[in-house]
Amino acid sequence: MEENINEKMNEKPAAADAAAISPKKIYLLMVCAALFWAGAFIAGKYTVPYIPVFTLTFLRFFYATVILYFVMKKRSVDFRLERKKLPVYLFTGTVGMFGYHVLFFTALRYTTAINSSIIAATNPMVTTVLALLFLRNRLGGKRGAGILLSFVGVVLTITGADLDVLRRFTFNAGDLLMLAAVASWAVYSVYSKSRGKEIAPIVLTYYSFLVCTILLIPFVLYERPWEFLSGVPGTAHLAVLYMSVFPSVIGYLVQQTAIREIGPEKASVFINLVPVFSILLAVLILGEALEPVKLLTAALIIAGVLICQRSD
């Protein structure tokens, strides 16, 4: 799978890219990306007790940047830094990578997991609104219904279909930070479609990771990693490598390709599959019980995604 993705990234013209990967293959790859991102939650949950947030994020993107560098070198991808494209890399790296992760992790310090998850589920809707405003895309009835159905499924999944959870829902400072995180990710997606269409996805992803890694350095120094990294178990380091290779390198490459080929609105809806795969992985890996209501809510999410992708 990774080999097919990288062959796709080597092409420069967007038109040539469009002919290389069919929409159906993009959908399949985005499902895989959602699975990898769900796995990142499991890996992150395991790793956080050993490695602080900023150091963990730095290591994840540092390894991912190095991996992408050697992949491009091996495949003779032209990734010379062009001055005219530097603003694009600075924007995607600062807003989409650094901004999103800093806002997200900071938000989790001040709000509940349920609040943050529900707010994160608004990502497809926020992305769609921005695409309507700035890309002048059209929102059909089917796409709108698919996004709404998927959102309802995510909310019911997170709350366990318990309406009392929604009645107790109150906003706090962490929720506002989470909204900012969602907005930054949506802006990143729409901006990538608008300004990054002339850049090969693998190159755009590489420089976005590189900018994020550089921006994280002061925060990492504050956490003084030299004092604790030697005591981190090998399994935690393997979890970081997993997050670097699958959710980061492969996941973000697939997402950039999907943004280019099917648009940021359709690509963002696949994010709602993450809770479905998280539940599945929690059952298989962590041994958690599978509640019947989760099967119903998972079906709603999947139905919403399918409706959205068939809305052309």
Q: What is the pLDDT along the chain (312 residues), one digit of tens a residue?
A: 444 545 544 444 443 343 457 778 898 999 999 899 888 877 877 888 899 889 999 999 999 999 999 999 999 999 999 999 999 999 999 999 999 888 887 876 776 655 666 677 677 777 877 877 777 666 666 667 776 776 777 677 666 666 676 676 666 677 788 888 889 988 998 898 888 878 999 999 999 999 999 999 999 999 999 999 999 999 999 999 999 999 999 999 998 898 888 888 788 878 778 777 877 777 777 676 666 776 776 777 777 777 766 655
- Tokens, residue 232: 């981190």
Give the torsion sign (CA, 12, 198, 251, 226). positive
The alpha carbon of 205 is separated from its chain's Cα centroid by a whole number of angstroms, namely 12
Residue 203 backbone zone (phi > 0: left; psi -120 to 50: alpha; other: beta): alpha
- pLDDT of 273: 81
**Cα–Cα distance measured from residue 246 to residue 256, given in angstroms and rounded to the nearest whole number:** 14
- Nearest Cα to 136, choosing from 265, 268, 312? 265
Q: Are 33 and 255 in contact (CB under 8 A)?
A: yes
What number of other Cβ atoms are within 10 A of residue 81's Cβ?
A: 10
- pLDDT of 289: 67
Q: Are 188 and 17 in contact (CB under 8 A)?
A: no
The reported pTM is 0.78
Residue 273 is classified by DSSP as G
**Cα–Cα distance measured from residue 112 to residue 121, given in angstroms and rounded to the nearest whole number:** 14
Q: Are 75 and 10 in contact (CB under 8 A)?
A: yes
